[in-house]
Amino acid sequence: MKKLLILTLVSVTQLFFMTPVFAQAFGEYGRAVGGLPQGVGPRAPGSAPQTGSGTGEIGNVGGKALPLRLVVASKEASLYPKQDDESEKLGELAQGESLVPMVQSSGGNYWYMVKTQKGLIGWVKSVDVKEEKAKK
């Protein structure tokens, strides 16, 4: 009987203490993907925005398509694991380095989730990059 009581107590305790951890994990995931509002999702690089009536069907999600390539414009740019410039840096980006954009965040401070030439994936501030012009 004592074992059953202890097992029940442990299970209930884990349930109450683990729920905030899972909620925080989902919140972090939402911030990592840009915290996009409902109905707005990431667009593939180079894709044009779609048009529609806005009645729940596939339609205009607003904004412009992601550029095909980005290039680091700042002398000092960093790659972050999340959209927070006070978080630990994944690495430094060299001026002129080419990046592949994967997602652009929405909101006041724009960030791009990018893949570097070395294969690292992380977030970079939009003020540190510019669209790479197509080579002719």
Q: For 35-88, how does the pLDDT look when each residue is reduced to its tens digit (9 = 90+)?
A: 544 444 455 555 555 444 444 444 455 566 777 889 999 998 999 999 988 999
What CATH number was assigned to the domain covering residues 70-131? Answer: 2.30.30.40
Segment holding 50, helix H or strand E: none
Contacts of 84 by beta carbon, 8 Å cutoff, 6+ apart: none
Q: For 82-106, how does the pLDDT look when each residue is reduced to its tens digit (9 = 90+)?
A: 998 899 999 999 999 999 999 888 7
Report domain extents, the chain.
Answer: 1-32, 70-131
Rounded to two decimals, the pTM is: 0.53
